[in-house]
Every structure is written in C-alpha cells, then in structure tokens.
Structure 1
Amino acid sequence: MMAAAQAVKAVMLVMTVAVCRAVPPTAPSQEELSKAQNYLSEFFSDVGVSAPDTVRRSSLDSFEDTLRKMQGFFGLEVTGQLDTNTLAVMDRSRCGVTDVARYGYFDGQPKWDKTVITYRITQYTPDLSQSDVDATIANALKLYSDVIPLDFKQIDSGTADIMILFKPREHGDFAPFDGEGGVLAHAYSPGEGHGGDTHFDEDENWTLTSAGSNLFLVAAHEFGHALGLAHSQVQTALMHPTYQYVNTVGYKLPDDDRQGVQALYGVRVSSDQPTAKPKPPPRPEPEPVPDRCNRNLIFDAAASIQRNLYFFKDGYFWRRSSFWGGISTRKIPSVWPGISKVDAAYEYKRQNTVIFFEGDRYWGIRGNTVLPGYPKPLSDFGFPSSVTKVDAAVHVSFISRTLFFVDYKYWSYNERRGKMDRGFPKFIHREFPGIGPRVDAAFENGGYLYFSYGSTQTEYHYQRRRAIKTRLNKEWMDC
C-alpha cells in the first residue's frame, strides 16, 4: 500500500536522485555542513537540525539520526556521516515536501466531493503548441479517470476547480519558482481557493520526449497531488518524490499510485462489473485542530525559525515553509515534549537557539531538542515580578535587540549584554504608530516586522517606524 511523505499542502516536483553506495567520508567543509543542515531542516525535520560542530551532544545525535533517515530514504548506505554521495543527493533539485512519511495523504485526507472536475489552462508554454499542451494535460488526467470514478472537463473561461498556468519566478501564490533546473512545478491539494491549482515553472524546457522536462510525467505527478495524494516511498511509483523519465507510450498508473487514489475515490467499474471500493488504510481518529482559515483567526504566537514561519494556536502550530509555501500542522507536545502551549517565541541566530514562552517560564530550543536547564523563570530576562506572561516577542537582528510585548507596553532586551535596555517599558502605540495598542504575536520576514493584534496584522518598516499595510492573519494560511 502507499507509503507517502508527510502530508502538507503545496507540492513541487524534483529531479532524479541516484541510488548508490556511499564512499568513505572525508571531513566536510563548513559550507557543506551548512548545506546539510539546511537540507535536513527543510525535508527531514519539523523545525530543523544543527550542524554537528555548532551544537551540544544532544543536537549532534539529532543531526546524525536525521541524516540516517535521509540516507535510508534514498537508498544510500546508512552511516550518519556526511559523505560525498550523500552530499551529491542533497545537491540535486528536488521537491519541497518533507520526506519523513506517516500517511499517504494530506492532513485531513482532503478529496473532491464531486464527480466532474473542471480545469482551465490560463497561460501556456511557448515550448510546445497549444494543442500539444491541451492533449498532454488531458492524457495526464486520464491516467486517473481510467481508474477512479472522476471525470475531467476543460473549460476556457471562468474559475475552474484546477487552474493551470506556466509562469517563471514569482507567479502570485507566495511560492516563487527558482529558475531552470530547480523546482519544476507544484500543486495544491483539493479544496477551495487555491485547492487543486497546478503551476509549472516556465524557466524549464518543456518537452514530450526524454529531453528537458517531460510535461506528461510532471503533470501526472502534480495532478496526483491535486487529487489528494502525497509522496510515496515506492521508487517505481509516479508519486515518488524524484523525477525520472520513463517511456510514456502506453503508460498506465503504477499499482502503488492506483491503490492510493482508489482508496480515496473508489474504483471506476464498467457496466458489467460490480461496484467496489477498497477499504481505506486504517488511521487514528483525527483530533480537533483550530481552523486556520477562520476569518477571525487570532494567533497565540508567531516566529521565523530557520527561514520558515511558525504560527501557534491552542496547543498546535502551523509551519509555513519558505521554500515551497505549504502549510503543515502539528501538536506542540509531539515535537517539544513538556511544552503544551506557546505564548511567544523568537529565534536568536547568533546562538542558534529558539526561545519559547509559556506563562511565567521560558525554554531554550535547538532543533527538536529542549536544551538542558530549562524551563527558567521570566525574571531571568529582568522582568519585574508583576510580569507573569509575555504576549509576543521578536528579535531585530540589525540592532541585536529582542522586543517583548506585555499588555500595552514593550521592553527592549540587549542580547549581547544579556540585560534590558534602560528607559523601558514604553507604550506600544507611541513607539510603533499604526499597529494598535497591543501585540498578540510578532515575527520578522523579508526585512519587515509583522505585528498581529486580534485577527489583523500590520506589516511594519522598523527603520522608518512606519506601518506599510494591514492584512488578516489567515492570509498566511493558504486559504
């Protein structure tokens, strides 16, 4: 049955990964260690791991264990060492979805609740004729309609269930492409809004042959995601997270992919066959999760951690990857045991540490590991005894200050000196005009600070002390 990568919402296709035996390792350079840290953080860990020469023994073990997972996934010799063949795999262009698998479907097992799915191609590639693109897209969708009771209909105007386009770089969905040879395409799982939408990187060379990127194979993979399939660890499966060309003449959906999509939608049968539907694979009853698409969504906390955005709410967190823009959902204690809720959070990169606040205590985190000696009392930061909870925190790196927000005031903490700056606290509305009287959550992204108060959020230019624009919190949630 289908073994798939961790369920997440936005998906991107990848290039071929060789399966080979590792050669004896040589001492990796600092650049290679950094590359490995970023790779494992992005694809094999919920919050990331640290390179071994920058962390304590507990995090070193986490790095090696995570590296072993990655090596096993790709059929490499499992050594836990950063050898040349492992680095070669990391150098390949690849999918933006993590490869740590649990289920074969996305969170909540989304699927289309209709039998006719419409699609529309709004922008074509000049690499192929429009008629060739139309025929290829139709044939890729036919792989699925041949085996499940869904039909696909192309429309030429209006909004379709699956909107398809070819466009380079930034194309309007917070997940810009990266140029030729990197990410080939991505698709969203079934649902409203962006759900099912499929985008192809126009910087690629789209073909119908073994040269360049074969549109039929790439589209067929992406439409699997648009129907609700995540990645499979079966190397011969269409949904395996590596692109490799195969002969497309007479191509049929491989067994692993067929079983997975039929478990979602049932089996297409002819008139002389009895209707049958395979029993879906067993899975635990889902626990209630906060509705991230609620227009009135209020964050408990938010933080930018190792280039990804984390949003905390009622014991859960949503992780938005900077690489592919998708959203994953986890319970806080499942990643950081002993922490049930996060009131505020920030990352201090100079020490490779993340600080979580809950009530009158705080924790130091590195990767998935709670550092020894925690939790500690808020008073260690220099707060008066009257402060029993931090509402929000954000680190401003170019001044090496962390800003703490409590009720209607804020403090400025000098990280290098390890003490509060003089003259604080100050009133928020006086020092940060335009963001409101209080702050529920704060984070840095792309050089701007973002302050949430209630269900709205203000983008803020710190140097100019000016509010740029406001948005709803849920606009970060791919709704």
Structure 2
Amino acid sequence: MGCLLCVSRSAVAGLFLEKYGYFGKQGPSTHSPDEFTDALRDFQRVTHLPLSGVLDAPTLHQMSLPRCGTGDGESRAAGTRWASTTRRHRRTTQHGGRWYKRHLTYRVVNWPPYLPQHEVRLAVRAAFELWSNVSSLVFWEVRDGPADIRLTFFHGDHNDGLNNAFDGPGGALAHAFFPRRGEAHFDSAERWSLHSGKGRNLFIVVAHEVGHTLGLEHSPVKSALMSPYYKKLSKDFVLSWDDILAVQNLYDADHNIYIFKGNHYWMVPVNGNTSDPQPLQTRWPGLPAGIDASAWSQHSGKFYFFKGGRCWRYAGSTLEVGFPQKCSARGLPRHPDTALHFQQLRRMVLFKGPKYFVVSEEPLALEPYYPRSLRDWQGLPSGTAGALTHRDGSIYFFRDEQYWQFHPEKLQVVATGKWAAELPWMGCWDANGGQVLF
C-alpha cells in the first residue's frame, strides 16, 4: 500500500513539474530518476525549500498551494543569473519581450457570474493602476472591439493547450501570455472575492497576470507580487521592490545621466547627445543652487539632493510633503561628498571624507552601526564629487578629472582614468570644439 501511494505521489509531482516547466520538452514518461531529482531541486530552489531533491511532505504541500499557471522555467534561469551577478536587468522570457508603446488598452471579455460587473471593473482598473503608478505605462479600458490586453474567464480546457486547462478551485488560478499576445485567462470555477475575506482576491490575481502580459516573469523573491504563488491581500505594499524594478527596467530604464554644476544640470541620454545646460529650479522647483550631492533611487524612482545639513526628495519634479528636512539631525553627514543608491543594499549611501553612511529611504534615516570606514570600498579615495551606476552594473565615482570604476560584486575599484577622454558614453567631450562640455 505504501509503495502504491509513493508511486501515486511521484506521478502527481511529475505532472506538476512538467506543467510548470521543470522538465525539458520530452514527454514525462522519458524522465530518468536523476532528471526527476534535478527538477525537484529546481522547484525547491524557486519556492525557498531545502534543496533535498526528495519528494518530502513540505515539497508536496507547496505543490498543493494555489498559484499562477504560467511556468517557472525562465524564472529559474533568472534566479541562477542573480546568484552569479548583481546586475539588475529586465526579467522577461526570451520570447516575451515588451510592448513597443506606452499607452495600452485592455478589455474584460466576460465576467465571473456571481460578482457585480461594476465592482469587477473597479478591481481590474486598480490592478492596472498598480503598474502604471510605478512606470511610464498608461492603460485605458475599452468596452468592445479589439484591445491590447484581454482578460477572459474560462472553465477547464479552453483550447490553448491541455497544460493550460483549469482544474477548478485551488491549483492553477490563472495564466497569461507575454507580449504581444496580450491575454490573461482566469479559472471561472475558482471562488473569487473582491475583498480580503474568503476566496481568492481577484484584484491580486489580475495584477499578477497583468505583470505577465507586460513581459514580466515569475520572481524568485518570496514577497513579490510576481512570485508564482498566491499572495493574500494585506495592509503591506502590494508591489515589492523587485516588482517595481522589473517593470521600470522594462519600460523606464532610459539610463539618462544627470550632471550637476552650480545652478544648472545637463542630461545625457543613451545616444550620448548631451543637452544644453538647464536651470535646476526649472526641473526641481525649490532646489537651491550649488547642491553638495545628488542621487536617483532605483528602488523608489525618486531624486535626492543634499546641501549642508538639509535634504530634498522629489517624485519626478514634485517636492514631497515634509521636505526639505534637516537630515543632519538624524545622523546624516553635513555637506556630503557623494550620494549613491547602492542596489546591493537597496539603500542610499552617503560618502563624507574617510567614512560612508548607509541610509534608509522610509524613513530617511541612518541605519544602525554606521558610519563605517571607507576601507570597505577597496581602492576608493575619499573626497569623490559624484557617482553613477552604469548600464553594465558598474559604479563610477568622479573627482576633478579622474574616475574610479567600482565592481559591486568584488567590492573594489577595478579601473581608473580620465573620464572626459576615456568615457565617451558620458557625452562630456565636444568633438567639434575639442573641449570638455562641463
């Protein structure tokens, strides 16, 4: 009896692993014991379980939890890449890509029969707004006719492959297709809810599937909305830092460089065509001239400026409520040399002389056990005057005519030189006039 039960569990696990992309393209009956063990370890890695390769009780329990029906294969690859590098590029499938426009239409094709249509429409709108609030994307609903993204409720097999057939309450809640097919399918037999009580919260699941239709894979970060397993609605933020970075790196990462001097700034886009000098106050009203340091947060998408003991924070060009603040009263250094958002810590870092300070964004305050010695940043001199994160993940620090290229994995300087002559991507050299632009 025990042997039959073991075989039954293995068969169920095999079907699960096959459905969610943990095996190759060959049929399930051809998998060897070693392949089955490797697939289990892959699954355990994605779901943050001990990598035993054994079909134990915690693994079986995890397989029984409600989740998205889109496979995890590419997310596993992404997890491997993250283990070997700290570069944060877009998390999409090779064939997923992204939309080549920023204004997208959506349409709810049909409705769950037991929920008011107007309330479902509000939940769907809120799910799309979740992504538009943190990106350059804009969505609007169409009531009939074609749309870029279509949301449809189905039961059982619905003609897009047996692996995509819905299985009733529990199991796969929904699945979606990457751009530019633009479809998300939901199990109409599931017990959907528009609140945080019983049933699966429709807003949460729609928001997850919309992420797929925008080109996002499953996230290996357990707290992320784009994690494959159902996330209950709570008072916490729905989108994690990983979700926000993923969509912003797809649609907002134009990698503009901002250079500040006196009362002006220059912007250098990817093509290297440097803008004319622009007044600081035109872009960031209320900002004083001659700032000490500035940084842009990859986490929140906000601009930070520091001068003396005060600091300013802008969402776009809007000064946030409560700013400027006297940040020196909370342990931040007066007249910092350089400011930087350090993605590996997901914190702001301020440099002042031979020390550095790690600062949280919410609230904007010094983290415990800091400041520390600049020796932690091997090879970096004191008194740098600015820093930026390059598209390749390297961090460049600047002082006078010199630059220092810092490797965020090795935590050391790996190159140095004259920035105007050796870093053409900064757009700092006027080839016609033969001089530095700023």
Q: TM-score, normalised by structure 2?
A: 0.50
Q: Deviations over 1:77-96 (max 9, x none)?
A: 32222222222223334433
Q: Deviations over 1:34-80 (max 9, x none)?
A: 223333333322136978xx98xxx3333323322222332323222
Pick from 206, 215, 218 the counterpart of residue 192 of structure 2. Answer: 206
2-structure distance, mates of 1:61, 1:173: 31
Q: What pairs with 1:337-376 in structure 2 (closer than 5 Å)?
A: none
3-state SS of 2:44 partner: helix
1:278/1:227 CA distance change after superposition, 3 Å? farther
Residue 88 of structure 1 aligns with which residue?
A: 61
Pick from 63, 69, 83 the counterpart of residue 42 of structure 2. Answer: 69
- Give the gaps of 5 or more residues in structure 2: 79-90, 254-300, 303-314, 320-387, 394-438
**Alignment of 1:45 onto 2:23:** yes
How many residues align structurally?
A: 247
Residue 71 of structure 2 aligns with which residue?
A: 98
- Whichever residue aligns with residue 230 of structure 1, its letter is E
3-state SS of 1:244 partner: coil
Residue 116 of structure 1 aligns with which residue?
A: 103
2-structure distance, mates of 1:84, 1:252: 29
**Alignment of 1:35 onto 2:22:** no
Deviation at 1:156, TM superposition (A): 1.4
Q: What pairs with 1:435-450 in structure 2 (closer than 5 Å)?
A: none
1:278/1:38 CA distance change after superposition, 3 Å? farther
Residue 209 of structure 2 aligns with which residue?
A: 222
Q: Which has the higher contact order (CA 8 A, sep 6+)?
A: 1
Q: Deviations over 1:431-476 (max 9, x none)?
A: xxxxxxxxxxxxxxxxxxxxxxxxxxxxxxxxxxxxxxxxxxxxxx
3-state SS of 1:186 partner: strand
Pick from 71, 94, 97 the counterpart of residue 107 of structure 1. Answer: 94
Q: What pairs with 1:4-403 in structure 2 (closer than 5 Å)?
A: 29-43=6-20, 44-47=22-25, 59-100=32-73, 101-103=76-78, 104-174=91-161, 175-191=164-180, 195-210=181-196, 211-247=198-234, 251-266=237-252, 272=317
- Whichever residue aligns with residue 99 of structure 1, its letter is D
CA radius of gyration, larger in: 2
3-state SS of 2:77 partner: coil
1:113/1:87 CA distance change after superposition, 3 Å? same
8 Å CA contact 2:225, 2:231 repeated in 1: no
Deviation at 1:166, TM superposition (A): 2.2
- Give the gaps of 5 or more residues in structure 1: 1-24, 283-479
8 Å CA contact 1:141, 1:223 repeated in 2: yes
3-state SS of 2:182 partner: coil
2-structure distance, mates of 1:42, 1:149: 34
3-state SS of 1:141 partner: helix
3-state SS of 1:37 partner: helix
- Whichever residue aligns with residue 186 of structure 1, its letter is H
Deviation at 1:157, TM superposition (A): 1.9
Q: Deviations over 1:405-427 (max 9, x none)?
A: xxxxxxxxxxxxxxxxxxxxxxx
1:37/1:183 CA distance change after superposition, 3 Å? closer
Deviation at 1:179, TM superposition (A): 1.8
8 Å CA contact 1:125, 1:202 repeated in 2: yes
Calculate percent identity across the aligned residue pairs.
36
8 Å CA contact 1:40, 1:49 repeated in 2: no
